[in-house]
């Protein structure tokens, strides 16, 4: 039997993406409390996310959303990582307020933010171990959050995943040249 890498690539990338999800789940969490969510986006849902990013660019005027909307179409899949909002009751003041009780609604708990960052790092390290291409994207994560793809999570980030001759998520050109 002869198996060509090109015919196996998609299946392999999805398997690695699932390992990335496990790495995000098992990453250390503040106080040992797990409030992160991790999901895998594939196929037509990547197009849906891209279309929403285009609409968001028109609303917010951020041109890099256009570039990233086009860019994620090169992904075999996208990992989403976000957190449910939950103050950890440490009164650490890392959020900028002296106590958790003083923190206004809408201001993220710093421990939640750190948990998301560690989960992203663990997922990306797993991707690097398997030599697949990734990039952490705020834009695609914000679009996924807007579409509520992680059931009410905040601070959502997206990690598109690819295995190609050249990482499609770097050396990207803007969709429109900035005005002087």
| pTM recorded for the entire structure | 0.91
- Whether 172 maps to a domain, the answer reads no
Q: Report the range of poorest mean pLDDT among 3-7, 100-104, 127-131, 159-163.
A: 3-7
pLDDT (mean) for 162-170: 87
Task: Give SS3 for 123.
Answer: helix
Amino acid 171: pLDDT: 74
Cβ–Cβ under 8 Å, residues 111 and 92: yes
CATH code of the domain in which 46 resides: 3.40.109.10
- Whether 20 maps to a domain, the answer reads yes
Amino acid 180: pLDDT: 43
Amino acid 133: pLDDT: 95
Question: For residue 178, is pLDDT > 50?
Answer: no
Please name which of 69, 87, 70 lies closest in space to residue 146, comparing C-alpha atoms: 69
Amino acid 6: pLDDT: 87
- Whether 179 maps to a domain, the answer reads no
- Whether 114 maps to a domain, the answer reads yes
- Whether 25 maps to a domain, the answer reads yes
How far apart are the C-alpha atoms of 79 and 166, rounded to whole Å? 20
How high does pLDDT run on average in the chain? 93
How far apart are the C-alpha atoms of 22 and 71, rounded to whole Å? 25
Number of domains in the chain: 1
Q: At 174, is the pLDDT very low, low, confident or very high (cuts 50, 70, 90)? A: low
**What is the number of residues in the chain?**
180
- Whether 41 maps to a domain, the answer reads yes
- Whether 177 maps to a domain, the answer reads no
- Whether 13 maps to a domain, the answer reads yes
pLDDT (mean) for 40-51: 97
Range of the domain at 45: 8-162
């Amino acid at each position: 039997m002869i198996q060509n890498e090109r015919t196996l690539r998609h299946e392999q990338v999805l398997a690695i993406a699932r390992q990335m999800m496990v790495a995000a789940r098992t990453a250390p969490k503040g106080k040992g409390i797990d409030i992160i969510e991790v999901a895998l986006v594939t196929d037509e849902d990547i197009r849906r996310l891209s279309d929403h990013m285009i609409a968001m660019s028109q609303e917010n005027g951020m041109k890099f959303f256009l570039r990233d909307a086009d860019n994620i179409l090169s992904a075999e899949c996208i990992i989403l990582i976000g957190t449910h909002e939950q103050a950890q009751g440490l009164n650490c003041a890392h959020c900028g307020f002296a106590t958790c009780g003083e923190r206004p609604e809408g201001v993220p708990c710093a421990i939640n933010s750190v948990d998301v960052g560690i989960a992203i790092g663990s997922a990306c390290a797993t991707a690097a171990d398997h030599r697949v291409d990734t990039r952490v994207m705020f834009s695609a994560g914000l679009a996924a959050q807007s579409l509520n793809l992680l059931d009410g999570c905040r601070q959502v980030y997206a990690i598109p995943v690819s295995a190609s001759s050249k990482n499609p998520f770097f050396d990207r050109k803007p969709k429109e040249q900035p005005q002087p």
